[in-house]
Amino acid sequence: MNVQSPNSFRMGPDEEGQFGIFGGRFVAETLMPNILELDEAYTKAKKDPEFLSELEYLNKHYTGRPSPLYFAERLTEHLGGAKVYFKRDELNHTGSHKINNCLGQILLAKRMGKKRIIAETGAGQHGVASATVAARFGYPCMVYMGAKDVHRQSPNVFRMKLLGAEIESVTAGAGTLKDAMNEALRDWVTNVEDTYYLIGTAAGPHPYPELVRDFQSVIGKETREQIQEAEGRLPDMLIASVGGGSNAIGLFHPFLDDESVQIVGVEAGGKGLDGDEHCASLTAGRPGVLHGNRTYLLQDAEGQIEEGASISAGLDYPGIGPEHSWLKDTGRVEYVPIMDTEALEAFQLLCRLEGIIPALEPSHALAEVVKRAPAMDKDQIIVMNLCGRGDKDVHTVAEALGIEV
Amino acid sequence: MTQRMTNRFAKLAEENRPAFVTYFMGGDPNFETSVEIMKGLPAAGADVIELGMPFSDPMADGPSIQAAGLRALKQGQNLTRTFDMVRAFREHDEETPIVLMGYYNPIYQYGSEKFLDDAKEAGVDGMIIVDLPPEMDEELCIPALSRDLNFIRLATPTTDEKRLPKVLSNTSGFLYYVSINGITGAAAPKPEEVAKSVTHIKAKTDIPICVGFGVRTAEQAAVIGRAADGVVVGSAIVSTVAESLNGDQPTENTVSNTLELVASIAEGVRTARN
Ligand SMILES: Cc1ncc(COP(=O)(O)O)c(C=O)c1O
């Protein structure tokens, strides 16, 4: 499917919350007033200097922004091609980019006078970030997490509990992120009056994809400044992993209109695209409607949603944020799959070459860097979003490598 | 409104009794059994039939309807078979309105236009699509209305003064008032509040208002039926099907238990205004 390319890639969404045909507001009537209220609150907040300066203050003093842009010298040498830089959002408070979005949304919840926070989580990084901001601002917090993820991301489960959140282990379906999101939506429909749903990725009904993107765009904005400072020019290529797509859109969005910048999103290829054990919604899915938006989905011929599969809990989602679907169809961003085994290798490579233990999600992006950099010139530049640290994944990796810890 | 829907509500108004609207899941526990249940519904007292179309991710449904949908999907239920059920039913009943209820994605994949054409041809009267609010009317609502199919909208306790006109616009057949904020099969509605809301909405529209979510017994149905033009019962019926099963298989009690429950709640609905 190819659509005509627009004058600017940075204007979306439109009034209806759509990026081309993607996005929209496909939700139960019970939620509509709330979603409209959120839209109104966000439209006001993003123009309010007080809101913006409070967020900026928290980003700086609570999260530790700006995160460094780091030249990975040894990796670059090893690959023998383009210069590789990492945007180090894994150094953020709570260990991933998820906090950028959570701080923005908790300030919105406060403005809207909500009394209770709910969130869904896959890897647990968003759950931890949500529990963190809920603790910081004094809200009760309920986190929905698939039973399978509760097991494979157990360190994060305990962190959330320490932070005072309640965890609901979801056994429906395959017990992963999609099912957690269904359950969070059910909670929201039931407690719509006082509850704020803090969505963890740039998906869901409008205005979530837009506001999550905006809060995550701090990544790309900083990157622009930092690479100018380091290299005096823009990078040739951006690479980021896409689960729901929030870290990726955060890095990509400020560069979408810079034609010279090639942009690559990396999906979870799981055990390969031939079978059904993968999570490559853009590469192997079709447009459909789920969780409030129209977007590429893994589904069967009759529109029943299929479970994804990936070694990385954070990428284990059969959908994708609607803006990515549009960026794929317009051809502005290229999306490729990376297999579990490739991600595992990249994970280990980074540990040994740079002394950084990455999360499994950005390990997918890294595997793509490993493929691309050697074929590029030495004066070319790749920036990769190193959006999370790997502490949470060490058990999963040990298991995959057949090592007992 | 389709002629069937108009006639049915006119007749009920004449008899001064509320409609009994029954929801069940198509294809649960299998195709044949659910056709049998469907065929038995009118005699058991159902005035309007809501035929559930299963979806893998029913985000507004509680555990019993979720489970029913998964059982149906496992048995191969899909839209083609849904229409087969309607055709089988229409062989014997040309009068009872049939409303399809479900989520948008399976329809979108089938093709919205084709879905509407096939529905019309099979003898469907309308549809309730949970995740298509008025903001999304271009998708299915407008094309449905242009084929003289009813697009039945949900109104909820969160539908305030400001929003109500939007919800009422393009609604046809009846308005489905969801009596609680929540998912299907959850808490019971508070009769006084429901009555207040129904009266309030009635001042703004002439179309019938049916009330559902959380109605499980004849007594509750009777109370709700005093104020509303119809009472919708779903989870109670679906749970009765589930309780009759042996594993996932139907038993000799599946159809009879289900229709007995329907008959007993119908009693309540019929005495609502006595
Ligand atoms: C470190 C990390 N990266 C990426 C993701 C995927 O989410 P997104 O695509 O929204 O960035 C997650 C999700 O849990 C994560 O924890």
Mind listing the pLDDT tens digit for each residue in A239-270? Answer: 999 999 999 999 999 999 999 999 999 999 99
Q: What pLDDT was estimated at residue A130? A: 98
Q: Ligand 1, residue A360: give the atom nearest the CA.
A: 1
Q: Dig out the tokens for A143 from the structure.
A: 């986190």
Decide whether any atom of ligand 1 lies within 6 Å of the A383 Cβ. no
CA A81 – ligand 1 centroid, Å? 27
Q: Can you say whether the dihedral through the CA atoms of A342, A346, A347, A349 is positive or negative?
A: positive
pLDDT digits (tens, 9 = 90+) for A82-120: 999 999 999 999 999 999 999 999 999 999 999 999 999
What is the distance between the alpha carbons of residues A293 and A212, in angstroms, rounded to a whole number?
14
B181 touches chain A (CB under 8 A): yes
Decide whether any atom of ligand 1 lies within 6 Å of the A75 Cβ. no
Decide whether any atom of ligand 1 lies within 6 Å of the A242 Cβ. yes
B131 touches chain A (CB under 8 A): yes
B66 touches chain A (CB under 8 A): yes
What is the distance between the alpha carbons of residues A321 and A326, in angstroms, rounded to a whole number?
9
Q: What pLDDT was estimated at residue A3? A: 61
pLDDT at position A2 over 70: no
Decide whether any atom of ligand 1 lies within 6 Å of the A125 Cβ. yes
What is the distance between the alpha carbons of residues A180 and A187, in angstroms, rounded to a whole number?
11
Q: What pLDDT was estimated at residue A140? A: 98
Residue B202's CB: how many other CB atoms inside 10 A? Answer: 16
Work out how many CB contacts closer than 8 A connect A with B: 113
* Residue-averaged pLDDT of chain A: 96
CA distances from B207 to A150, A327, B18, B22, B86 (A): 48, 44, 13, 19, 25
pLDDT digits (tens, 9 = 90+) for A331-388: 999 999 999 999 999 999 999 999 999 999 999 999 999 999 999 999 999 999 999 9
What is the distance between the alpha carbons of residues B212 and A55, in angstroms, rounded to a whole number?
43
Identify which of A144, A241, A291 to mutate to test ligand 1's pocket (most ligand atoms within 8 A of the CB).
A241
pLDDT digits (tens, 9 = 90+) for B164-202: 999 999 999 999 999 888 888 888 888 888 999 999 999
Q: Left (φ > 0), alpha (ψ -120 to 50) or beta: where does B147 sit?
A: alpha
Decide whether any atom of ligand 1 lies within 6 Å of the A292 Cβ. no
Residue A74's CB: how many other CB atoms inside 10 A? Answer: 13
pLDDT at position B268 over 60: yes
CB A129 within 8 A of CB A98: yes
Residue spans of alpha helices (H) in chain B: 3-14, 31-44, 63-74, 79-90, 104-110, 112-122, 141-146, 164-168, 191-202, 218-227, 235-243, 253-270
Decide whether any atom of ligand 1 lies within 6 Å of the A245 Cβ. yes
Choose among A130, A115, A286: nearest CA to A192: A115
Q: Dig out the tokens for A52 from the structure.
A: 């913006």
Environment class of B124 (CB within 10 Å of its CB; exposed 0-12, middle 13-18, buried 19+): buried
pLDDT at position A153 over 90: no
Please state the φ and ψ torsions of residue A291, each to the nearest 5 degrees: 50, 40
What is the distance between the alpha carbons of residues B243 and B258, in angstroms, rounded to a whole number?
10
Ligand 1: residue whose CA is nearest its atom 14: A314
Q: Going by DSSP bridges, is the β-strand pair A83-87/A69-71 parallel, antiparallel, or unpaired?
A: antiparallel
Cβ-proximal residues to B53 (8 Å cutoff; 6+ apart), any chain: B26, B77, B79, B82, B100, B101, B102, B103, B106
Residue of B nearest to A302 (CA): B106
How remote is the C-alpha of A131 from its chain's centroid? 17
What is the distance between the alpha carbons of residues A241 and A324, in angstroms, rounded to a whole number?
12
Provide the edge-to-edge strand list for the sheet that holds A116-121: A166-170, A141-146, A116-121, A195-197
Partner residue facing A26 (CB), from B109, B132, B183: B132
Cβ-proximal residues to B212 (8 Å cutoff; 6+ apart), any chain: B21, B23, B176, B177, B178, B179, B231, B232, B233, B234
Please say if B121 is a catalytic residue: no
B182 touches chain A (CB under 8 A): yes
Residue of A nearest to B158 (CA): A30
Please state the φ and ψ torsions of residue A31, each to the nearest 5 degrees: -90, -15
Partner residue facing B181 (CB), from A26, A190, A289: A190
What is the distance between the alpha carbons of residues B50 and A107, in angstroms, rounded to a whole number?
43
Nearest Cα of chain B lies from the Cα of A302 at a distance, in angstroms, of 6
Please say if B61 is a catalytic residue: yes
Q: What pLDDT was estimated at residue A4? A: 63
Nearest Cα of chain A lies from the Cα of B190 at a distance, in angstroms, of 15
CA B50 – ligand 1 centroid, Å? 40
The ipTM estimated for the assembled molecules is 0.96
**Is B131 close to A26, i.e. CB distance below 8 A?**
yes
Ligand 1: residue whose CA is nearest its atom 6: A243
B87 touches chain A (CB under 8 A): no
